[in-house]
């Protein structure tokens, strides 16, 4: 500790160290009871993040005789015996003001609604936790919706949103109107917000036609409410929401500290960047769950000045191959290519079997301009339009790759198994790889073990750092299992996780063709582990015999 620290600062530092170890909570309580100097710091730490049973603990702070309560797995029932007075709140308030973070699970509004109702009625103050800094409120319990208690659940937020709030996470998948109706209160009270997450999480929207999907994902009125809320926030560092309009885009673009932006949809409403103004000066992460390519192209000038490290998006199903290639061509010419480290393009599962787009050769050619990438993850509804030459050109242009994932739903592929041999020397830092390969040939090449004792220039190329490999939808015959395992164990000496995209069957169930292929890959994975173990033992014995021989010569 620093010599200039005062006694109260030292006590707070000790309390903070103790609370970090769950086994030391009793010690902290003992300090608080035994030493007055430790009382406040210890209580501050014990109540800073009290956990999911916070409301039960508060009930225990009230004087005896006011009420009794019973707790079951599904509900906490409260029976009031006399009116709650101002004096009854003195002890609970002593602890309420110490709460800094509360994570309310999806069942809170149903299980603890009697307690929250009692607090709303009797609370002699505006806020239940006046110094609350972080609130995670999950209103996704379908039981509350079935009992028509959504409004009640949202009303509780009125006593929880305090001026000290900096982090707000509200999740409600079955409808956003009530959640967004709370935003005017939040915007007037919590002016210090730096982290905001408004999640609808509506997975069912992706199974609907794209022309109606936007209205269900976020209606015009909901988008307007979110955007009005955004305009009131000037200190945002992270923001996530279903959608925003052009006004909100421009406001977020001018915020000096915004680092992460996540949207569920971006189909239109992208403004032109303001003239002579740096936009998204600190943005490092940008994710869009459903992105239209015309909107994506209009976004590029807005994020051109951003020090973007991570970009993740999913093209809408109506995207065409030409639109996707056009976007990547413009993306590769944007200044953000110099800072980008992670690029992820996802694909919505369960979409139509006949998609409008594929990841074409021009896309791979454009990605070669992103020379600083360490993570490249592309998903395609069909095969990738890339052969061995294109894959090797991509790897040669991206020497820093640590993760390369080409995930597809098809078994078709233009990449051969032995292409991995030529890929290995071009990816010296690769740790994770996913590829669907063409069905292995009749004769699988024999890869001898990687000899670590040789000088580097004499060693055969291998994936020295690769720990995870996914074979995707690669087919493998029953008579090829051992040969494939021997090939992979020789080429990937550090491989400890091998998976595939085929579905596994249940124990005792008759396996279909997909499940049979999955079982074969499981057997390949087991054999790779066995071969690695055998080779480790061979190396150990070779070293023992060499040392023993040298001792004999001496």
317 has pLDDT over 60: yes
Antiparallel, parallel or unpaired: β 285-291 and 76-80: unpaired
pLDDT at 417: 94
Q: Which residue has the tokens 């309009």?
A: 245
Q: How many CA atoms lie within 13 A of 333 on its CB side?
A: 7
The segment with the largest mean pLDDT, out of 11-25, 203-217, 277-291, 438-452, is 277-291
Taking only the tens place, the pLDDT of each residue in 60-117 is 899 998 988 888 777 888 889 999 999 999 999 999 999 999 998 777 777 888 888 8
Tokens matching residue 280: 């998204």
CB 340 within 8 A of CB 311: yes
Whole-number Å distance between alpha carbons of 554 and 552: 5
Write down the pLDDT at residue 374: 98
For position 448, what pLDDT does the model report?
63
pLDDT band at 142 (very low <50, low <70, confident <90, very high): low
Q: Is 382 helix (H, G, I), strand (E, B) or coil?
A: coil
Q: For 228-244, what is each residue's pLDDT tens digit? A: 999 999 999 999 999 99
CB-CB contact of 528 with 496 (8 Å): no
Q: Which residues contact 272 (CB under 8 A, 6 or more apart)?
A: 298, 301
CA-derived radius of gyration, the chain: 29
User: What pTM does this model have?
Assistant: 0.83
pLDDT at 230: 97
User: Token digits for 302?
Assistant: 């807005």
- Mean pLDDT (the chain) is 83
The region, left, alpha or beta by phi > 0 then psi within -120 to 50, assigned to residue 466 is: beta
């Amino acid at each position: 500790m620093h010599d200039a620290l005062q006694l109260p600062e030292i006590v707070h530092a000790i309390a903070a160290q103790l609370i970090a170890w769950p086994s030391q909570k009793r010690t902290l309580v003992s300090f608080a009871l035994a030493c007055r100097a430790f009382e406040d710091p210890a209580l501050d730490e014990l109540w800073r993040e009290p956990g999911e049973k916070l409301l039960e603990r508060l009930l225990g702070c009230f004087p005896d005789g006011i009420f009794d309560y019973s707790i079951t797995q599904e509900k906490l029932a409260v029976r009031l015996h006399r009116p709650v007075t101002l004096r009854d709140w003195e002890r609970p308030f002593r602890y309420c003001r110490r709460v800094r973070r509360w994570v309310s699970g999806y069942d809170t509004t149903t299980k603890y609604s009697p307690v929250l109702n009692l607090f709303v009625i009797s609370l002699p103050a505006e806020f239940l936790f006046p110094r609350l800094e972080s609130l995670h409120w999950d209103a996704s319990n379908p039981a509350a919706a079935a009992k028509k208690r959504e409004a009640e659940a949202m009303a509780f937020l009125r006593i929880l949103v305090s001026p000290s709030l900096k982090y707000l996470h509200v999740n409600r998948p079955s409808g956003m109107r009530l959640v967004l109706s709370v935003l005017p209160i939040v915007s007037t009270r919590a002016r210090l917000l730096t982290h905001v997450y408004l999640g609808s999480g509506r997975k069912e929207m992706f199974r609907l036609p794209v022309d109606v999907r936007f209205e269900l994902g976020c209606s015009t009125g909901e988008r307007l409410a979110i955007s009005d809320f955004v305009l009131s926030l000037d200190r945002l560092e992270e923001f996530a929401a279903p959608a925003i309009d052009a006004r909100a885009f421009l406001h977020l673009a001018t915020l000096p500290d915004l680092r992460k932006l996540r949207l569920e949809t971006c189909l239109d409403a992208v403004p032109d960047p303001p003239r002579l103004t740096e936009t998204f000066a600190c943005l490092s992460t940008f994710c869009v769950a459903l992105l239209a390519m015309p909107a994506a192209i209009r976004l590029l000038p807005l994020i051109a000045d951003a020090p973007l490290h991570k970009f993740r998006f999913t093209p809408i199903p109506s995207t065409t191959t030409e639109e996707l290639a056009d976007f990547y061509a413009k993306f590769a010419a944007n200044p953000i290519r110099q800072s980008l480290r992670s690029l992820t393009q996802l694909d919505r599962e369960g979409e139509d079997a006949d998609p409008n787009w594929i990841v074409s050769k021009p896309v791979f050619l454009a990605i070669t301009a992103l020379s600083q990438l360490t993570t490249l993850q592309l998903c395609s509804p069909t095969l990738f339009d890339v052969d061995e030459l294109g894959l090797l050109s991509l790897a040669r242009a991206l020497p820093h790759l640590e993760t390369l994932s080409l995930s597809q739903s098809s078994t078709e592929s233009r990449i051969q198994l032995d292409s991995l041999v030529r890929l290995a020397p071009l990816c010296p830092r690769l740790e994770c790889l996913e590829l669907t390969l063409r069905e292995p040939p009749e004769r699988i090449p024999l890869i001898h073990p990687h000899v670590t004792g040789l000088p580097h220039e004499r060693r055969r190329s291998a994936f020295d750092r690769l720990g995870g490999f996914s074979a995707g939808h690669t087919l493998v015959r029953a008579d090829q299992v051992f040969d494939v395992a021997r090939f992979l164990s020789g080429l990937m000496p550090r491989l400890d996780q091998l998976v595939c995209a085929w579905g596994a069957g249940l124990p005792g169930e008759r396996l279909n063709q997909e499940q049979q292929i999955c079982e074969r890959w499981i057997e390949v994975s087991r054999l790779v582990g066995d071969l690695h173990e055998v080779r480790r033992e061979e190396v150990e014995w070779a070293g023992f015999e060499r040392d023993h021989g040298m001792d004999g010569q001496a």
